[in-house]
Structures are given as structure tokens and as C-alpha cells.
Amino acid sequence: MLYLVGLGLSNEKDITVAGLEIVKKCARVYLEAYTSILMIDKAKLEEFYGREVIIADREMVESSSDEILSGAGSTDVAFLVVGDPFGATTHTDLLLRARELAIPFRTIHNASIMNAIGACGLQLYNFGQTVSMVFFTENWRPASFYDRIKENRDVGLHTLVLLDIKVKEQSLENMARGRRVYEPPRYMTVAQCAQQMLEIEEEKGEAAYSPTTLAIGVSRLGSEDQQFVAGTLKQLSEADLGPPLHSLVLLGKRVHELEIDYIRPFAVDVEEFNRAYELEHGKKAA
């Protein structure tokens, strides 16, 4: 059987008991390592699991899935995913391939950014569409996220913004020349995300949000040193939330006063936070 096992958000101990039992019995164990990362080295996983862990990068998962599925019809193979296998990203392509080969599969779920983001103090029922923010380049500035955020804001809902990571990526020159030379890993910060959002608003001018729109920067969610910083997009574009991984939540118009009470202690500047709340939401801060 092929097992898709969610690892949770932080370290080797976030795996569920059911997931750990499966990993220990599998003939091969793969770790998907391009849509997200754990905050520990692979060696710690191997020590805790008592098993070798094979890194499955984008190239292997997208181009060499047969290697992962080889023998999975007669023995057990585990495919480990940071968070939940169907949380911030899905691996239905791998399961479709398994189905074509008549390989049975099972999913072991775990916490993901999609539900753990509630720790920032905003109610999950008040979230709209989740969007992704990629690194801009000189010639590529995709802005599809903007329309989704505007749709959320138009009905008053919060927006979770997932930030880009670049792991084992090639430059265009190395790709063109067929050289297997990879760029150093890069992880987008809250400040970079907020700055890119403000740049696109300036270009679009449709008032999906503004420099005074309140947001929450989140870093290392699920870890012992997780951090929340609340402020305007302008403030967050200058904030330092430390090491990765980062994400950002844009507050919706229907934010509840209890939500505001919870996140106010995270504010960069409480007085500025209260002024922005009154400006954006037309309510006097408590």
C-alpha cells in the first residue's frame, strides 16, 4: 500500500501515533521536500523514526513518480508531507497514478497551516479563499492573487496568504544549458509579501486593500518560538519576523471585536493599530 502521511508543522514529534506506526513498518519512506519544509534536519527524522528517509524533490515527484510507486502494490511505501497531505497543497496526481497501477492507498492526516492559522486569533469560519504569493522577478509579476483577495474583502472575509519557497531551483541559464546546478534555498518573508502586495495595489488601484489595511504576520507556526505580529500592511512591509516559514493574514471587514481583542497584543504599535481599525472598519477601538 502507498501511505500519504501528514507530518504536522514543526518537528519530528508532530507526526501522529498512527503515522509513526506506519512509517516504522514501511519498506521505503519518502519525504516531499519542495512545497514546504520542517524546521529540523532530515537526520532528526531518521533518528526518531529509526528509518532511512529519501528526499523527494519536485523533479522526482513530478517526473519520476514510478520510482516512488515501484513495488508499492506488494509492499508498504510511505510518502511524507509537511502539514497535511491535502492541506496547503495536494498530491492527487500521485494518487491518480497509484490508482492507474491498481495500488491501494491510504491517507494519515495531520495539522496544516489551513487549520493551525486559527492560533493567530481569527476565527476559521471567517476565512475566504487562500492565495499564494510568489517571488516577483524583473519580468514576472503575477497578480492573480489580487482578484481573489478582493473577492474575499468584498464579502468581509479574512485572507490567508501562503508565501513562496524556492528549494532546489535552477536559474533560467542553467536550465537552458541542461546544467544540474541549483540556486540556494530562498524563503519569502512577511515583509517581502506585504511590499509586493502594496506594489500591485498601486498598479491596480481597485482598493482591494491599502497601506493601512490590518494584517497579521505569522512565522514558524506550530513551533515553540512561533510569532505573530499585527499591524498595517505598511508596517509589516518593514517588519522582521525572523527565520522561515512565514505566512500572512489580511483581515476582512467583518472582523469580530473579540478577534481584535485577541490580536491587539501582537500589534507593532497599539495606537496605530487602533487608528487603522477605526479607519478601515468604522468602529471605535475598545
Residue 113 assigned ligand-binding role: yes
Cβ neighbours of residue 77 closer than 8 Å, sequence gap 6 or more = 1, 2, 3, 26, 27, 28, 29, 30, 68, 69, 71
In three-state form (DSSP H/G/I as H, E/B as E, the rest C), the secondary structure along 28-87 is EEEEECCCCCCCCCHHHHHHHHCCCCEEECHHHHHHCHHHHHCCCCCCCEEEEECECCCC
Contact 213, 280 (CB under 8 A): yes
Tell me whether residue 163 is annotated as binding: yes
- The label of the residue with cell 491535502 reads 86
Is 7 labelled a binding residue? Answer: no
Is 112 known as a binding-site position? yes
CA dihedral 189, 7, 128, 259 (to 10 degrees): -80
Does 198 carry a binding-site annotation? no
9 marked as binding residue: yes
Q: Is 94 marked as a binding-site residue?
A: no
6 is in an annotated binding site: no
Q: Give the three cell numbers for residue 264.
A: 491587539
Cell of 218: 505569522
Of 258, 219, 244, 214, which is closest to residue 122 (Cα–Cα)?
258
* Residues annotated within a binding site: 9, 84, 87, 112-113, 163, 221, 246
The annotation places the binding site for S-adenosyl-L-methionine at: 9, 84, 87, 112-113, 163, 221, 246
